[in-house]
Amino acid sequence: MRLFYLLRLRVLPVAICAVFAVFGLLALFGVHEAAARSAGADDFTQFGFPKVSASVLFTPGQAATLTAGTQQVVLPADFVSKPVKFELLTGDPNFFTPLLESDDRSRPILAAFAFRVTDMATGHQIDSFDKDVHWSVTDPRVADGTDIYDTSAANPPEITENPTPGTVSGTTFTHSFHGADEGWLALGPQTAVGMPNTGSPADSTALASLAALIGLAGLVCLLVGLAVRRGWRASLPD
Is 78 within 8 Å of 131 (Cβ atoms)? yes
Calculate the CA 193 to chain-centre distance. 28
Predicted confidence at residue 183, as pLDDT, reads 98
CA 65 vs CA 74, 136, 183, 190, 212: distances in Å: 5, 11, 19, 31, 46
More confident residue, 141 or 4: 141
Decide if pLDDT at 91 tops 80: yes
In which band, very low, low, confident or very high, does the pLDDT at 19 lie, cut at 50, 70 and 90? very low
Q: Give Cβ neighbours of residue 221 (< 8 Å, ≥ 6 apart).
A: 13, 16, 17, 20, 21
Residue predicted with more confidence, 225 or 86? 86
Beta-strand pair 128-138/64-68:
unpaired
Q: Closest Cα partner for 113 from 38, 173, 190?
A: 173
Nearest Cα neighbor of 136 from 183, 72, 79, 75 is 72
- Rounded to an integer, the average pLDDT of 164-176 is 98
Q: What are phi and psi of 96, to 5 degrees?
A: -90, -25
Per-residue pLDDT tens digits for 58-67? 999 999 999 9
Spatial CA neighbour of 204 closest among 99, 95, 94, 51? 99
d(CA 27, CA 30): 5
Across 16-41, average pLDDT: 43
* pLDDT classification of 230: cutoffs 50, 70, 90: low
